Structure 1
């Protein structure tokens, strides 16, 4: 036990060290490189793959209903008995206790081969296969979610760094403004009110900088969680190829959206579950072969008895207290529920596609507007500063113009970030935010490989696990 505990502690320490080392790397500079690393190393995605491998086992478990079962049983008993008896002696008889003992044993082997089980195995296999297909679509959904989280984290860090720079520039500009205000106040050109206004605006800008730095720290932590290393020097990414129109996006989503397809396969499985429940009302039949060896006195004589039998069995349920009928009705209601959920998810997918498409298109126009806003705000600030120096503008006018410029710059950075995120959100809503469709340069995980290995497997406990 001590050795086992030591190994466990050692594993935990090694895992902690590995996790600590992951946060030290400064890795991907491009969005695609970040997604590629997450596709290979993200624990959420690898756990989903391991879960799908477990779902694959539902099929061989269902197919086991066709296969024979073989069992061996045996027992050994030590039998001890005693009885009293009278033994003649010279002067009469003497009571004595006679003890007898024997060792008896038996060995039996039995084979049972199902022949018919009311279509339970047939329907159970169909249900298992449908659940495997649903699991594969669920795995694609997990893949999309992880890759989208990487996009979100990447763009949050990229934009957050730019906003921190803008906030620092704003603080520096306002510090210069406060210094200039104090100098002009000293020579009587402005009042104490002007100085107070500059100082108040500086304090506001410093608070905004702290908020931006705090948010950036959170975004960096999320990036490390998704990708596995700290972000390096990030660059503004190109958006992957998008559908040409909203209608083409809707058409594609109806065909390949993994969430919608997963629910469709769940409905197929639910329909087969009705047949599994109904099998309890149908007859079943099987074959049996058995051999038995009984020895009443092991090793003492050859009085052992050997028997062998081959037989067939048949059973037909007549009334099961209403239990099976209720189970069939329940299965039908579940199938109805799953069918309605397909419609619900189809509507939800359509809503997501429409929303993400309009968000992407709208943000394109917003970016144009913010660029115009930034240029105009910069010109306005330059003009107000010149007029301030000429004595026709107040300190508050300069402060307001500076605020409007920073506000416009932050809007532009935010809109540019949101447009990339909206583009990849559109891909995800359609079902195209996958490594294969996006074109990530990684070995594409194929869930069918494990399925083919285990589907017809009769023996063995070895499993190709994902670490």
Structure 2
């Protein structure tokens, strides 16, 4: 898989992001949990990622199984039993007459043998099976990277969502407090006869709506916290404002080209196709000659008559040339070829999917950044408008409803900014995922990277052994 420089993080937050999240930043002490620390925790302890690593170790075992085709088999066999029988024969007596003789043949039967069989040629099956197993391992490594990227992206989304909903709760709580003061002032003006009951009802309605919005945002925050704990493995504590990734590509076309080469789904499809072509050779081996060498040492006691013992050694070379086996082997070859053709099309499909996802991620990131700029301008205008409406309401040229509408518009704009800034962060990581750069190595996470080859090296050439050869992995507490 092609690699490039790790995406760099911006040294400072964009101004709007810092302003939008300043209450959280001020509340966070020096020991607050950063996004990078959360991703490191996810990388070490996420069960979905641990499952994918275990699956890779399962596929690693295909290689020693294929290499076993080169190795001899050694067997010991033995048998013991009891036999009864009667031996009839004819002999000449002392008078020269031919007479029949019957002899009982009750005996203990025993055999023992040690056999070594060494394959010499299996029609190319061992070579093809080994190549296929190696390609399966490489494909599974790519799938592990894909799982790693998806898990880290889920962790980013969970982290950002907690901060987003915390800020929405703060905005809605502040809005409810403002509207409560607005209602109190409206009631006071109503008592002195400056406004009507309609104005009071409008203020009460907006306050009730603000409280409903606050309750909804609090529920969303609890859901985000649950998702955070499920993905990252810890309950969110004091989170710091995350930073968007600096893009690793210059434009959408560049993103599509990199994704077509580097996306783990594309890489896995390429190795799947190679493994399928190797499987054609595996099936062809059934049509080719087979040769093996067998050495045996044996001992047979009392096989035919009492007191008979046969001891010996033998070496036998065997060559088998298949002529016709019912036709199933031909169907298996045709089937394997069609499967290779299918997987060749899967490669093209995965390239198109990866390119499309990369372009979509690029455009989504650009759209999110443009939205941030637009909402900033909207907030500035809404703040000016609210101040003007409040001043005009004091002199009676504006109604209570006008003030409420201006406050609601400003609140909506501020909430939109929080959501847009959260979208910028998640979209920047989505773009990195689309081009295959959202891995622990690319993000420079402070963790010991999982060694994809450790188990493979431990078992590849192992002739025997039942213990677990998994290398211990450090666990972050």
**Which TM-score bucket, shorter chain as reference?**
0.7 to 0.9
Matches of 1:28 and 1:103 in 2, distance apart? 83
Residue by residue over 1:219-256, the C-alpha shift from the partner in whole angstroms, topping out at 9 and shown as x without a partner, is: 11111111111112212222333224123333322332
Report the equivalent of 2:295.
289
SS of aligned partner of 1:436: coil
Alignment partner of 2:269 out of 254, 263, 269: 263
> SS of 2:441's equivalent?
helix
The answer to whether the 8 A contact 2:163-2:239 is kept is yes
- For the residues of structure 1 that align with 2:469 and 2:164, how far apart are their CA atoms? 41
1:72 and 2:76 are equivalent in the alignment = yes
Give 1:63 deviation, angstroms: 0.7
Deviation at 1:324, TM superposition (A): 1.1
Does residue 107 (structure 1) correspond to residue 112 (structure 2)? The answer is yes
Task: Check the 8 A contact 1:239/1:423 in 2, yes or no.
Answer: yes
Indicate the SS of the match to 1:437. coil
Matches for 1:307-318 after TM superposition, within 5 Å: 307-318=312-323
* Contact kept? 2:389, 2:398, Cα under 8 Å: yes
Residues 1:219 and 2:232 are matched in the alignment: no
- Could you say which residue in structure 1 is the equivalent of 2:239? 234
> 1:280 maps to which residue?
286
Higher helix share: 1
> What is residue 7 of structure 2 aligned with on the other side?
none
State whether residues 255 and 355 of structure 2, in contact with CA within 8 Å, keep that contact through their aligned partners in structure 1: no
Counterpart-to-counterpart distance in 2, 1:383 and 1:234: 37
Structure 1 equivalent of residue 4 of structure 2 = none
CA–CA separation in structure 2 for the residues paired with 1:155 and 1:79? 83
Partner of 2:176: 171
Q: Give SS of 2:465's match.
A: coil
CA distance in 2, matches of 1:339, 1:353: 22
Query: What does the per-residue CA deviation read over 1:280-323, in whole Å, with 9 as the maximum and x for residues that have no partner?
Result: 111111111122222339xxx97532232211112122222221
Could you tell me how far 1:100 is from its partner in structure 2? 8.9
Aligned partners of 1:277 and 1:327 also within 8 Å: yes
Aligned residues: 424
Q: Which residue number in structure 2 is paired with residue 194 of structure 1?
A: 199
Residue 168 (structure 1) shift: 0.5
Q: Secondary structure, in 3 states, of the residue corresponding to 1:221?
A: helix
Among 336, 344, 352, the alignment partner of 1:331 is 336
- Where do 5+ consecutive residues of structure 2 fail to align? 1-30, 87-103
SS of the residue 1:235 aligns to: coil
For the 8 Å contact 2:459–2:469, the answer to whether it is kept is: no
Q: What is the RMSD computed on CA atoms of the aligned residues?
A: 2.1
1:104 match: secondary structure:
strand
1:29 Cα deviation (Å)?
1.4
Normalised to the residue count of structure 2, the TM-score between the two structures is 0.85
Map of 2:415 onto structure 1: 410
The 8 Å contact of residues 28 and 231 in structure 1, kept in 2 or not, is answered as: no
Residue of structure 2 in register with 1:391 after alignment: 396
Q: Does 1:248 align with 2:254?
A: yes
1:390 deviates by: 1.7
Q: 1:43 aligns with which of 41, 47, 69?
A: 47
Instruction: Please give the per-residue CA displacement for 1:30-84, whole angstroms capped at 9, x wherever unaligned.
Output: 11011111111111111111111111111110111111111111122245789xx
> Which residue of structure 1 aligns with residue 12 of structure 2?
none
Q: 1:112 aligns to what SS in structure 2?
A: strand
Between stretches 186-195 and 454-463, larger displacement belongs to 186-195
Counterparts of 1:137 and 1:457, CA distance in 2 = 24
Match of 1:20 in 2: none
Alpha-carbon distance in 1 for matches of 2:107, 2:323: 47
Distance in 1, Cα, partners of 2:433 & 2:355: 12
Contact 1:240–1:438 at 8 Å: present in 2 too?
A: no
